[in-house]
């Protein structure tokens, strides 16, 4: 017999009281640990209301399958009101990230062809490979300059630059020059703005931004300044390409980048293109860079595994005679490492959908329209789902265990991460070059935890040493 919605365990009756407790637990930065704790207390399903944020939370892959089967024709995520409020406030169009319904679908279908279809990979790979090589050259220089044959540092700033350079070269078909010693201060400002934008978003998940705006709260003002910085820089890049394209005569010989391709295709309005390109540029920095930082951290903690990966890359290089596109087909363990990183250190703490139809999960009835969240961080660490979850073990993704609804770091289905192909290629190419050139080590054996700043970040700097293998 199916039990009613109102019997789902959890704290959902008093949103304001729950918000107060959440705030006392420093929940704005501990969301992932609080979710884990809730699954321990309530079991594999619980209902919750914090402030005005109401959801049903699940953890099992089999339940995730039910959730995604009910996502409907126009899958819809939690509405991040801070982001839509900014656009409404400044009168800017929503891009694919924030659109919904038919408007989302028609834009997404066109973007898919230029950004995530398998055939564009061959255009992206040479561009990304060049950035990877420049990163290696930069580290070489740093090692030489240190005079100690090694370079010990917090790589996060370097990785932000690598990620922005990579995503920009794909979007604009042009280099920004961030692998050089002196970089454009505007680009550095853009990077800083993205971090602030994410950080200021998380409190506004629970407290309506409209309210914060009326009382002139600092978090809202900082958020607006951050988005302003992001849009100004993206506008500059976009205008540049637009101007070049109008001056050009004849068809270009080489791949001109995603933006120019979309402009020439002429299927989306310029305003729609600008909105989505800005989101892609902003979405392409902290996500991949932090995932790469976590991966280097795990490889430093597992030296034998690191050698195994190095051997795989060397063999792939030999077999493909240096053709990078071919190489990417021969590195299953490197790909497993990235999946393993996203399992233990996911960028997104949860995946969510407003379900399009009624469903039954864990024998509870859940009505259409409910926001259902899959606790991705909690699932990745659940011993019922992953054998010895605390072990970083890329080979688990090769064959031995079932993968059914377990590899969800980029989301699922037609609403999954639009930047997925770019992100995967960019990260794989980075690891190939790093493994071929450097050994990664770390000083002491300190565990680094995550902190929630809308995306999950390392709670303290990760210091690594790069030297020659």
Applying CB under 6 A, the residues found at the interface with ligand 2DC are 77-78, 80, 97, 205, 279, 282-283, 287, 347-350, 352, 417, 454-455
Determine the number of helices (DSSP H) and then strands (DSSP E) in the chain.
Answer: 18, 11
Q: Using CB distances below 5 to 8 A depending on partner kind, what does residue 96 bind out of ligand HEM, ligand 2DC, none? A: ligand HEM
Q: Which is nearer to ligand HEM, 194 or 423 (CB)?
A: 423
Residues 110 and 261 sit within 8 Å (Cβ to Cβ): no
Angle among Cα 287, 290, 294 to the nearest 5 degrees reads 135
Q: What is the DSSP string of 351-411?
A: EEEE-SS-EEETTEEE-TT-EEEEEHHHHHT-TTTSSSTTS--GGGGTTTS--TTT--TT-
Q: Which is nearer to ligand 2DC, 201 or 437 (CB)?
A: 201
Structural tokens at position 414: 């037609």
Q: Which of 32, 76, 77, 433 binds ligand HEM (CB under 6 A)?
A: 77
58 binds ligand HEM (CB under 6 A): no
User: How far apart are alpha carbons 378 and 145 in whole angstroms?
Assistant: 43
Q: Using CB distances below 5 to 8 A depending on partner kind, what does residue 80 bind out of ligand HEM, ligand 2DC, none? A: ligand 2DC
Q: Which is nearer to ligand 2DC, 134 or 272 (CB)?
A: 272
419 binds ligand HEM (CB under 6 A): yes
Per-residue contact flags (x/-) with ligand HEM for residues 230 to 249, judged by CB under 6 A:
--------------------
Least Å from the CB of residue 216 to ligand HEM:
31
Q: Which of 412, 430, 438, 452 binds ligand HEM (CB under 6 A)?
A: 412
Q: Compute, in degrees rounded to 10, the torsion defined by CA atoms 128, 409, 278, 156.
A: -60
Q: 413: number of CA atoms within 13 Å, CB side?
A: 20
Per-residue contact flags (x/-) with ligand HEM for residues 110 to 149, judged by CB under 6 A:
----------------------------------------
**Contact region with ligand HEM (CB under 6 A), list: 191-199, 232-240, 278-286, 433-441:** 278-286
Q: Which residues pair with 360 in a beta bridge?
A: 365
Q: Using CB distances below 5 to 8 A depending on partner kind, what does residue 78 bind out of ligand HEM, ligand 2DC, none? A: ligand 2DC
How many other C-beta atoms lie within 10 A of the C-beta of residue 339?
15
Q: Which is nearer to ligand HEM, 80 or 217 (CB)?
A: 80
Residues 300-359 that bind ligand HEM (CB under 6 A): 342, 347-348, 351
Structural tokens at position 309: 């990966």
Which of 232, 138, 147 has the alpha carbon at shortest distance from 430? 138
Least Å from the CB of residue 421 to ligand 2DC:
14
Residues 425 and 115 sit within 8 Å (Cβ to Cβ): no
Q: Using CB distances below 5 to 8 A depending on partner kind, what does residue 423 bind out of ligand HEM, ligand 2DC, none? A: ligand HEM
Residues 158-187 that bind ligand HEM (CB under 6 A): 167
User: How far apart are alpha carbons 215 and 222 in whole angstroms?
Assistant: 14
Which of 413, 90, 455, 82 has the alpha carbon at shortest distance from 275? 90
User: How far apart are alpha carbons 97 and 94 in whole angstroms?
Assistant: 7
55 binds ligand HEM (CB under 6 A): no
Q: Which is nearer to ligand HEM, 153 or 416 (CB)?
A: 416
Query: What is the DSSP code (8-state) at residue 450?
Result: E
User: How far apart are alpha carbons 172 and 341 in whole angstroms?
Assistant: 29
**Contact region with ligand HEM (CB under 6 A), list: 48-56, 128-136, 218-226, 411-419:** 411-419
Task: Output the CA–CA distances (angstroms, integers) from residue 108 to 99, 256, 266, 417, in the order listed.
Answer: 9, 20, 15, 11
Q: Which is nearer to ligand HEM, 143 or 374 (CB)?
A: 374
Q: Which residue is nearest to ligand 2DC (CB)?
A: 283
Residues that bind ligand HEM (CB under 6 A): 77, 96-97, 108, 167, 279-280, 283-284, 287-288, 291, 342, 347-348, 351, 409-412, 415-419, 422-423
């Amino acid at each position: 017999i199916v039990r009613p919605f109102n019997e789902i365990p959890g704290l959902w009756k008093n949103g304001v009281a729950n918000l107060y407790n959440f705030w006392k637990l420093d929940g704005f930065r501990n969301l992932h640990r609080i979710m884990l704790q809730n699954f321990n207390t309530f079991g594999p399903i619980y209902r919750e209301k914090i402030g005005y944020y109401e959801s049903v939370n699940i953890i099992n892959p089999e339940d995730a399958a039910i959730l995604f089967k009910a996502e409907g024709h126009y899958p819809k995520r939690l509405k991040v009101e801070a982001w839509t409020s900014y656009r409404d406030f400044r009168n800017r169009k929503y891009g694919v990230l924030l659109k919904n319904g038919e408007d989302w679908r028609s834009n997404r279908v066109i973007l898919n062809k230029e950004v995530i279809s398998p055939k564009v990979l061959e255009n992206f790979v040479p561009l990304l490979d060049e950035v990877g090589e420049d990163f290696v050259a930069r580290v070489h220089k740093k090692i030489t300059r240190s005079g100690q044959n090694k370079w010990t540092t917090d790589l996060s700033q370097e990785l932000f630059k690598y990620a922005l350079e990579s995503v920009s070269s794909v979007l604009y078909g042009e280099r920004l020059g961030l692998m050089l010693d002196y970089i454009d201060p505007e680009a550095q400002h853009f990077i800083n703005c993205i971090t602030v934008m994410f950080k200021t978003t998380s409190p506004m998940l629970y407290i309506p931004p409209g309210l914060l705006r009326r009382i002139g709260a600092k978090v809202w003002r900082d958020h607006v300044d951050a988005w302003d910085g992001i849009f100004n820089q993206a506008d500059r890049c976009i205008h540049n390409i637009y101007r070049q394209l109008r001056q050009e005569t004849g068809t270009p010989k080489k791949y001109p980048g995603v933006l120019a391709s979309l402009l020439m295709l002429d299927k989306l309005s310029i305003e729609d293109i600008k909105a989505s390109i800005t989101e892609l540029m902003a979405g392409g920095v902290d996500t991949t860079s932090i995932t790469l930082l976590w991966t280097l951290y795990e490889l430093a903690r597992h030296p034998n595994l690191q050698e195994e990966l190095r051997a795989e890359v060397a063999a792939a290089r030999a077999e493909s005679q240096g053709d990078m596109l071919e190489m990417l087909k021969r590195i299953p363990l490197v790909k497993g490492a990235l999946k393993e990183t996203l399992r233990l250190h996911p960028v997104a703490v949860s995946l969510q959908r407003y379900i399009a139809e009624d469903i039954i999960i864990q024998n509870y009835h859940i009505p259409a329209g409910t926001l259902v969240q899959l606790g991705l961080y909690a699932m990745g660490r659940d011993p019922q789902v992953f054998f010895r979850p605390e072990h970083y073990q890329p080979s688990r993704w090769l064959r031995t265990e079932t993968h059914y609804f377990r590899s969800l770091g980029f989301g699922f289905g037609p609403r999954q991460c639009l930047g997925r192909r770019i992100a995967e290629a960019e990260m794989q190419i980075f690891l190939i070059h790093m493994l071929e050139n450097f050994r990664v080590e770390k000083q002491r054996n300190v565990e680094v935890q995550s902190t929630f700043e809308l995306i999950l970040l390392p709670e303290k700097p990760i210091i690594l040493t790069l030297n020659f293998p």
